[in-house]
Structures are given as structure tokens and as C-alpha cells.
Amino acid sequence: MKFLFVVPRYHTNLHYRAKTLIKHGHKVNVLAMYKGKSEDYDAVEPEILGYSWCFKLINRFVKKPKDQLMKNPFELRYAHPGFFKTFWRIKKINPDVLVIKNIQSIYSIFALIFGRLLGKKIIVLLQIDKYRPKQKSHSVDLVGKLFGAKVITPISGDRKYSNKNKNLLYIPYVVDVKDFDKTYFKDNKINIVCVGKFQERKGQLVLVKAINQLKDYFDLKLTLIGEEDEGKYTDNLLHYIKENKLSNIVERKIKLPHKEVLEFLKTQDLKTQYLLVLPSWDEAASVSVAEAMASKLAVLSTYDNGTRCYIEEGENGYIFKEKSVDDLLKILKQVFADRDKITQMGQRSFELAQENHSGQKFYEKFNKII
């Protein structure tokens, strides 16, 4: 079958899905508006449509944060390529299945309309809880009724609730899950990694403050991996690191390609990583949790991250309150005090990755939908 992904950009969480489909003999094309800075094109090279002249004109008059490098909320919601250009590219590629990310942007809405006009099977990718207090999403219901679309989410949510959207299906993120030998604590140092753009909501400062209170009790190394974004926030973070003499403990790695991030998570030397901490909030669904699990890392995440559902508390990681240095500090003390437990959690992470996040597991579930 031929699949066409219509997306704002070719995010790394799409890379694994496309790679799996290609591995199983399918053809995959990608239409994106722009390229990100840390994407992986090994499986497929996206075709960049760019922005329409109309949007470019309007966007010139939109007030944007001066120190923010990433896309602003207006751009994320209203940016779109030329409508006729998009329609003709979809028609020419002529996919069997149209895979559309999001249903709240102008770009995705028109892709849905074009898919319907061309009689295509449509799958929508969303990041919402399948099981949640609001048991029925009217938006999900509407795309099912109007466009015949099935909606996939990588977030299970809380199973104490029910789901009344028959077209909303849960399929966990897929990542590369390949076994490898991992030796823990070669130099007695506890190595921690945090992955995320340098934005306030990513919470690196919360983590660094917790590390500052633990530095005299444990031999620690923290690596922050991400892209520059909010200048003022980054300046505050760097100032805190310098003021508290943490430069020998906290290291930043900027603009690492996705491949290098994965290699770093699996490093087998004195810098072997043991623990991923995601202190972010307003985090729809971080794929880094699944990537870390496949790298045999224990995982700590806030409650305000959709993919916290991949964590079995006390088994392969823990969940803590967002924006709370004290709660994170309590969890870190508990984790650091038992190195054998860190090793066990890392191994359990890999077992869960094999069970839930392998390409084969993803394809079995995805194939039932198509």
C-alpha cells in the first residue's frame, strides 16, 4: 500500500512509524511545511511545501516573542502551504491511505477535506488520552462522521475511565528496540540525561535545582540535550549553573542530530546513561520516554506528560509533580540511594519496550486499522 503523511514537519516520532511501514513493504511519502533541526531522513525524505504567500503576509504582522526561536502558537495553528498546491500534490501521489497529524490547524483541516474529496482512507494522528474524564471527544467523533477517519493516539490515559469514541484507537509509540549489552556504574558515577528544547516548560531548571541539592551526597553527572529556543530562560538556566558552581556536573549538548541522541543514550563507556528525567509540563506525549526505555534507562517523568503511561511506577521509573523541585528531589534521593534498583529499572524498561514499542508490535496493531 502507499501511505502519504501530511504533517507540519517530519518529527522523530513519525520517523519510526514510516520506517516500520517501509520495512513491511509499503511505500511512504511525506508532505511537510518545513524542516526541523533534529530530524532523521534515513527512511524517507519529506517533500517541503513551504508556506503560502497569503500566510507569509499575515504572519509579518503577528507579534512574536523576541527571544523565541521555535514556531509561535499563531504559526502552528494557522500556517499552511498553498491550498491548490497541496491538493494537486496529494492527487498526484495518489496514496491508498492519507495520514494526517492534528485536526486543529488550517493545514490539517484542508488535508482532511482533500482526502475526502479524493476518496482516500484517512488516519488522523492525535496526542490525547484514550481513557479520560471527558469520555467522548466531539472533534474525534466529528472527523469520524464527516471524513470516515480513524484516530490514533500514543496515550492510553487512565483506564479507570471509559472511551466512547469508537474511532479513537491507542497504539503506543514505536521505536527501534534492539538488544545490547549494558554495563552499569563503571566509574561509580550516576549519569542522568534530560532531552528537550530549552524552553521554560521543559523544566530543565527544576531538574538542575534538584541536582544542586544532591551534589554533595552523590557523584552525579547531568547532560541536558536540546535545541536553543527561549533566550531569557536559557540565560537564567546558565546563570544558575554558574552561580552554584555546577559546570563540572551539568553539561549541555546543543543541536545533536537524532541519531547522535540515540547513540548517546546507549553509550557504553564512562558516560553510560542510567536515568532519563523529563521535568516538563504541558507535554502532550514525549517519545523520549520510549526511546530511553529501549536504551535500558530508568525513566522519571512528570504527571503532565502523556507518555507517563509507559512507566510502571517502581518497576521501570517514577512519576513526579510538575514544577516541584521538592517532589523531584524526594524521588531522586530514593532512586540514587539504591543503585541495584536503577539497574533493575533499566532492564525492566527494555522488557516493556520489547512488549509494547517494537516495530512488529506497532505493525500488528496498525495493520488491523488499515
- Domain borders along the chain are 2-174+358-369, 190-355
Model pLDDT, residue 266: 87
The residue-averaged pLDDT of 11-33 equals 96
Tens digit of each residue's pLDDT (9 = 90 or more) over 215-239: 999 999 999 999 998 999 999 999 9
Comparing 169 with 67, the larger pLDDT belongs to 169
**Which secondary structure element, helix H or strand E, spans residue 29, and what is its range?**
strand 27-32
269 burial via Cβ count (<10 Å: 0-12, 13-18, 19+): exposed
Tens digit of each residue's pLDDT (9 = 90 or more) over 303-329: 999 999 999 999 999 999 999 999 999
pLDDT range class, residue 114, cuts 50, 70, 90: very high
Model pLDDT, residue 75: 87
Distance CA 98, CA 31 (A): 11
Give the angle 127-266-178 at the CA atoms, nearest 5°. Answer: 70
User: Is the model's pLDDT at 270 over the cut of 80?
Assistant: no
Model pLDDT, residue 37: 76
pLDDT range class, residue 62, cuts 50, 70, 90: confident
Query: Quick one: fold of 190-355?
Result: Rossmann fold (3.40.50)
User: Is the model's pLDDT at 68 over the cut of 70?
Assistant: no
User: Is the model's pLDDT at 241 over the cut of 90?
Assistant: yes
Question: DSSP letters of 177-204?
Answer: ---------SSS-EEEEEES-B-GGG-H
Least confident among 34-43, 140-149, 222-231: 34-43
User: Is the model's pLDDT at 151 over the cut of 90?
Assistant: yes
Least confident among 26-35, 242-251, 268-277, 330-339: 268-277
Instruction: List Cα–Cα distances, 146 to 141, 166, 220, 235, in angstroms.
Output: 9, 14, 54, 48
The residue-averaged pLDDT of 33-47 equals 90
Model pLDDT, residue 74: 86
The residue-averaged pLDDT of 143-162 equals 97
Average pLDDT of the chain is 94
Give the predicted TM-score (pTM) of the model: 0.94
Model pLDDT, residue 17: 97
The residue-averaged pLDDT of 45-58 equals 94
User: Is the model's pLDDT at 64 over the cut of 80?
Assistant: no
User: Is the model's pLDDT at 157 over the cut of 60?
Assistant: yes
**Cell numbers 524517507: residue:** 44
**Cell numbers 519496550: residue:** 353
Comparing 112 with 258, the larger pLDDT belongs to 112
Distance CA 42, CA 44 (A): 6
pLDDT range class, residue 273, cuts 50, 70, 90: confident
User: Is the model's pLDDT at 256 over the cut of 80?
Assistant: yes
> Architecture of 2-174+358-369 per CATH?
3-Layer(aba) Sandwich (3.40)
Residue 73 phi, psi dihedral angles, 5° rounding: -55, -35
Cβ contact 279:322 at 8 Å = yes
Tens digit of each residue's pLDDT (9 = 90 or more) over 176-216: 999 999 888 877 889 999 999 999 999 999 999 999 999 99
User: Is the model's pLDDT at 70 over the cut of 70?
Assistant: no
**Cell numbers 517519545: residue:** 287
Least confident among 25-39, 258-272, 326-340, 351-365: 258-272
* Grid cell listed for 308: 507517563
Cβ contact 249:176 at 8 Å = no
Taking CB atoms within 8 Å and a gap of at least 24, the contacts of 206-209 are: 206/279, 206/323, 206/324, 206/325, 206/328, 207/277, 207/279, 207/328, 208/237, 208/240, 208/241, 208/246, 208/250, 209/240, 209/325
